[in-house]
Amino acid sequence: MRLFAAVVPPDAVLDEVAEAIKPFVGQVPGLRWPDRAFWHITLGFFGEVPERVLPELEVRLARAVRRHSAPELAFDGFGAFSSVRRARVFWAGLTGDSMVRLADSVKAGARRAGAVQTDEKRFHPHLTLARAKTETDLRPLVEALSGFSGSPWRAERVQLVRSHTGAQMRYESLAEWALAPAEQS
């Protein structure tokens, strides 16, 4: 099973992002824009995981998620990996450093469960919006969208998602856990 852990933002904030990028979708040569149904914030990508690992993975991820309070986040600006000049991925960025700690816990729990991770890069919270097969200069796109800042929202749940690849890609949520209630100040 091809698995990852993710946060799915609320529809209202995804609407803001969709509205911001709407004039550019399909207008940038080389960019493929996945359907909004696939939008999520990946906390950990586990790749192919044997089915026998799934029960322990669910236990470990549930434990990891419960240790963290629901963070307040906001989409803030756009960027690209590996850089805006040589991009293969176009994304919306997120404020809130607590997502880094959450992602680290999720990845550690997955490792302990025996899920081998294929992506050990430093976590950079983002929402992938488009991909390119070859390096593409996205400076004009990122500059055109500068100044975007979305409404604040709370990430309240983490999902374990199975990715079904092939001619008709689809996602299947296998489990979901609530983050701890946000701390009141």
Residues catalogued as catalytic? 40, 126
- Torsion-angle region of 117 (φ positive above 0: left; ψ -120 to 50: alpha; else: beta): beta
Q: Using CA atoms, how far apart are residues 141 and 177, in angstroms rounded to an integer?
A: 36
Burial environment of residue 179 by CB neighbours within 10 A (0 to 12, 13 to 18, 19 or more)? buried
CA distances from 110 to 45, 55, 77, 105, 107 (A): 10, 11, 30, 9, 5
**38 near 128, Cβ under 8 Å?**
no
Q: Using CA atoms, how far apart are residues 130 and 47, in angstroms rounded to an integer?
A: 20
Give the angle subtended at the CA of 176 by the CAs of 171 and 181, to the nearest 5°: 140
Q: Using CA atoms, how far apart are residues 147 and 137, in angstroms rounded to an integer?
A: 19
Determine if the peptide bond prior to 149 is cis (ω within 30°). no
